[in-house]
Amino acid sequence: MVFGKIPSMVTAREPHKDNGDSVETTRQRLKISKSYLIGALHDATERRLTYRISQKSKKYVALIALGIKDLGCKAWVYREGKNRQVYIVEFSRFWLKNIKLNSKRKKLDYVRGYFDTEGGISKSKKVRYYIYFAQKNLTDLKEVKQILEENHIACGKIHNPSKLVDPNYWRFLYKETILYRFC
What's residue 175's pLDDT? 72
55 vs 52: CA distance, rounded Å? 10
Q: What is the pLDDT of residues 94-126, one digit of tens each?
A: 989 889 999 999 999 999 999 998 888 877 778
Write the CB contacts of 81 (distance below 8 Å, at least 6 apart in sequence): none
Here the CATH number for the domain that contains residue 139 is 3.10.28.10
Instruction: Assess if residue 174 is contained within a domain.
Output: yes
Q: By residue range, what is the domain housing residue 13?
A: 9-96
- What is the value of pTM for the model shown? 0.78
Transcribe 36-80 into DSSP letters: HHHHHGGGEEE-SSEEEEEES-HHHHHHHHHHHHHTT--EEEEES
How many domains in the chain?
Answer: 2
CB 68 within 8 Å of CB 29: no
* Residue 64: inside a domain: yes
To the nearest 10 degrees (0 to 180), the angle between helices 104-118 and 138-150 is 130
Identity at 80, one-letter amino acid code: E
- Please write the tens of the pLDDT for every residue from 167-182: 999 999 987 655 555 5
For residue 22, pLDDT beyond 60: no
**Lowest-pLDDT range of 7-16, 111-120, 135-144, 155-164:** 7-16
Indicate whether 15 pLDDT > 70: no
Q: Are 111 and 82 contained in the same domain? A: no
Cα 39 → chain centroid? 7
- CA-based R_g, the chain, Å: 16
